[in-house]
Structure formats: C-alpha cells, structure tokens
Amino acid sequence: MGTMVLATIFYSFGSQYLKKHLQKEDLIITITLSLFVGSLVGLIIGYFTHDLPKFAAFDVQTTLIVLALGAIGSGVAHILLYYMIIHGTPEFAATVAYIIPITAIIASYLMLGEPITVNLITGMIFIFIGVYITGRYRKN
C-alpha cells in the first residue's frame, strides 16, 4: 500500500515538474531518461528486496514480448502522456491512466488468450463510474 502512495506522489510531482520546467526539452530524450532512471531505481529496489526476475527463465518469446511491451506499451504511452502534459494540463493527461487497465485486459485476451471475467468487467465499470463522478464534480 505504501508503495502505491509513493508512486502516486512521484507520478503527480513528475507531471507538474515536466509541465513547468521541461517544455522546451526534446520529448524523446526526456522520456528516455525518465524510463532509464525509473528502471535503475526499480532494479536497485528489486536487488535489495530480492525481487529480481530470473533472467535465465526467459525464452525468446518471453523476451520479445517484454521488449514489445516496453517499447510499445511504455514508450508510446509515455510519448502520448508527455505530449498531453506539455500541450494540455497534467490533470487532463493523468486521465489516460484510466485507460491502461482496459487496454491491458484486451491485450491479454488477444495475445495470451486470458479470459475476460466478471470481476474484470466489474472493475472496468467502477473505473468508468469513478471517472464520471470526478469529472462531474469538477464541473460543479
């Protein structure tokens, strides 16, 4: 629980910092450095918590999937996110995070054949209700 709160704080801080200080920097360099530093921090935390993946267990298919998810999933998503922060507001750009669980469910169904369960659909409904309520509250 504490990790999620900390991640949320850093996510919010990063969005505001980007909007204020990094608008004139090259978008690709900013994203590359951001993901690289985040990866290093993750590896350091994983090392000290003994929670690193067993790389010997990776086969070619798994490695390709991880690379595709990293490049397409994280890379393209960050380009869109940072673009929206720079040309819009950080608050608006953060709403993209609501779409991530939905796309993950669809991708896992299409690529891995995982079932779409009632719990997943219920979760999506709660996400949409939450977005609707918060959007409606802001208008008032």
Whether 73 contacts 79, CB under 8 Å: no
Q: What is the pLDDT of residue 34?
A: 79
Whether 82 contacts 94, CB under 8 Å: no
Quote the longest CA-to-CA distance of the chain: 55
Q: What is the pLDDT of residue 55?
A: 65
Q: What pLDDT tens digit does each residue of the chain (140 aa) get?
A: 566 677 767 777 777 777 777 777 787 887 788 778 878 888 888 888 887 766 666 678 877 877 777 777 777 777 777 787 777 776 677 666 676 677 777 777 887 788 989 988 888 888 778 777 766 665 55
Q: Which residues contact 108 (CB under 8 A, 6 or more apart)?
A: 114
Report DSSP state, residue 24.
T
